[in-house]
Structure 1
Amino acid sequence: MTDPADLELAHRLADQADAIARRYFSTATIESRIKSDGSPVTDADREIELTLRSLIRLEHPDDGFIGEEFGAHGHGRRRWIIDAIDGTASFLAGEPEWSTLIAVEEDGRITLGMVSAPALGHRWWASPNSGSWAGPCPSNPAAPTHRLALSQGGSAQDAAVGIWPPPARLNQQERAVAARLARGVSRVRPSLDWTAAVPIAPAPRKPSTGSGTCHGALLVATGQLDAFLLLGAGPWDIAPLIPIVQEAGGTFSDLTGQHRTDTGAALFARPGLHQQLLGIAVAAN
């Protein structure tokens, strides 16, 4: 079970990130630039990551840290994994479905995950053997706290599955995986030609947009999708969602079936569907 002090610190880190992000979000214009992977980054991303890294260093100087914007710092059996703003495109567009992602990894095992979405007024968190929870954040302190629990999945051919990012941002091998999965299930969000290498106009939106959550894996944890496949991802995109999905009763692996966050791929699924979907996604051509 996770040290309660880690969960308490994660909530404080999320509170700090929420305050910084909301300050930027309330302005008329948020400046951004495009990174080498084609995704946007803002001053808010950088300020949040640097602030959280400093706070963690003060309380746990021996812990390592890795973030999307500034990489890895420090070494040790424990490290904090941070995505300052997941959903930067939504953040820039003035839409509410963006969040800060926080995880703790100990000896290679994710022992805490948290997603805080202040513009939605929600926060989700989990740790092994402690349940998966949705509850309040400072922007919505009256929100009730409730435990997430998933029902058993059925057949893959009847499943509704989210896939991200869009095909033009995937390499040829990743597009093949996405296309196989899309062909083998009932519904895919977003509904696209997953073999297409040319960017689509207008740009497709994440499966979470309009759902009241801000990450595709949360759609699985909250029962709104049967599965979610994330490709070309960093550990900060994956690690915080692992305990939230698993403690709700769902499953996680990369495309080799391992519980790794460093291979760039993550499949989150309702119980009973994971192996079916994994078999479809990695089947030989």
Structure 2
Amino acid sequence: MTDSADLALAHRLADQADEIARHHFRAPDLGAEDKGDGSPVTEADREIERALRASIRAEHPGDAFIGEEFGAHGRSSRRWIIDAIDGTASFIAGDPEWSTLIALETHGAVTLGMVSAPALGRRWWATPGTGTWMGPCPSNPSAPPSRLTLTAGGSARDAAIGIWPPPSRLSETERAAAARLAAGTATVLPALNWSTPDHATPPPSKPSTGSGTCHGALLVATGKLDAFLLLGAGPWDIAAVIPIVEEAGGTFSDLSGQRRTDTGAALFARPGLHQQLLSMARAAN
């Protein structure tokens, strides 16, 4: 289990990341470039990851660390999983829906998740058994956090689901699963033909765009969507939001039904819908 000291450290790490990100956000020169996989990266991404790794090492020198930009460091039963800026494209564009994702994995299970979105002024966090909370960032004693609790869903046929990334960035197998879910539910965001790899013009917006959140899984945790499917993802894209969705009452697995962060797929859902959606997605394989 994660203790209160780990949660306090996660808040301090988030404050540190927020400060660095604010310094770079909407700056004239972000030092943006494309990585080998075509995704963007900025000097802010790198600076935040370096700073958080140094802070964790100073407080817990035996803990392991993995980040999107610089990979894995160390081996331990405790591992911090960091995405310095999730939504770098939005960060570069000057849009507010980006965040830092912070997770702690203990003995292979994620025991702490935090998402800090300073441009939105919001932070979400959860640890097992303590609920999911949303509050301002940085923490403000005069504005106490609110607890998020989900109600059960009904039929998946009536559900609204978000899927990301768009079909042009998915494999044939991933597109088949996405298309099956899109066809079997009432609403899909973005509203695309998920069965073809055609490039949409203009490029589609993320499901979270304009929602006041910054990650599709948060749309589930806050009750704005019934489900969210993320494909082609790394552990840093998934880990932090697992306890946030689950402690609100929702569910998580990859497309094989396992609670893993290393298979590239993550399905988050309102309670009562997960198995129905998983069956739809599997039927496409």
- Name the aligned partner's letter for residue 52 of structure 1: L
Q: What secondary structure, in the 3-state scheme, does the structure 1 residue paired with 2:283 have?
A: coil
Which residue identity lines up with residue 58 of structure 1 in the other structure? A
- Distance (whole Å) between structure 1 residues aligned to residue 284 and residue 219 of structure 2: 28
Q: 2:95 — aligned with what?
A: 95
| CA distance in structure 2 between the aligned counterparts of 1:199 and 1:148, rounded to whole angstroms | 36
3-state DSSP of counterpart to 2:259: coil
Mark the CA change 1:178 to 1:140 in structure 2 (over 3 Å): closer, same or farther. farther
Aligned to 2:256: 256
Q: Does 1:246 align with 2:242?
A: no
Match of 1:85 in 2: 85
Q: Equivalents in 2 of 1:83, 1:41: separation in Å?
A: 11
Q: Secondary structure of the residue that 2:82 maps to in structure 1?
A: strand
Aligned to 1:269: 269
Q: Determine the structure 2 residue equivalent to 1:132.
A: 132
Counterpart for residue 9 of structure 1:
9
Partner Cα distance (2:275, 2:38) in 1? 32
Q: Distance in 1 between matches of 2:244 and 2:173?
A: 28
Structure 1 residues without counterparts, runs of 5 or longer? none
> What pairs up with 1:43-192 in 2 under 5 angstroms?
43-138=43-138, 143-192=143-192
Whether contact under 8 Å (1:119, 1:139) holds in the other structure is no
Structural RMSD (CA)? 1.3
Three-state SS of the structure 2 residue aligned to 1:112 is: strand
TM-score (ref. length: structure 1): 0.97
Letter of the 2:116 counterpart = S
Q: Distance in 2 between matches of 1:283 and 1:87?
A: 31
Deviating more after overlay: 187-196 vs 211-220: 187-196
Q: Distance in 2 between matches of 1:8 and 1:59?
A: 12
Q: CA deviation at 1:29?
A: 3.6
Q: 1:141 to 1:198 in 2, by over 3 A?
A: farther
AA paired with 2:145? T
Where in structure 2 are there 5+ consecutive unaligned residues? none
Assess if the C-alpha contact under 8 Å between 2:176 and 2:284 holds in 1: no
Q: What residue number does 1:223 align with?
A: 223
CA shift, 1:143, in A, is 4.2
CA–CA separation in structure 1 for the residues paired with 2:160 and 2:37: 28
Equivalenced residues, count: 285
**Per-residue CA distance 1:22-52 (angstroms, 9 max, x = gap):** 0000413423111222211100000000110
State the one-letter code of the partner of 2:197: A
Deviation at 1:113, TM superposition (A): 0.1
- Show the counterpart of 1:25: 25
Counterpart residue number, 1:202: 202
How far apart in 1 are the matches of 2:152 and 2:232? 28
AA in 1 matched with 2:46: R
In 1: Cα distance, 2:58 partner to 2:144 partner: 32
Retained in 2: the 8 A contact 1:86–1:99?
A: yes
Counterpart CA distance in 2 for 1:178 and 1:36 is 25
Range that drifts further, 10-19 or 26-35: 26-35
58-67 or 136-145: bigger deviation = 136-145
Deviation at 1:198, TM superposition (A): 2.7
**Could you tell me how far 1:141 is from its partner in structure 2?**
7.1
**Any idea what the Cα deviations from partners look like across 1:246-278, whole Å, max 9, x if unmatched?**
000000000110100000000000000000000
Q: Helix, strand or coil for the counterpart of 2:101?
A: strand
User: Does residue 1:281 correspond to 2:281, yes or no?
Assistant: yes
Distance 2:187 2:26 in 1: 36
1:136–1:142 Cα contact (<8 Å) kept: no
Task: Name the % identity.
Answer: 73
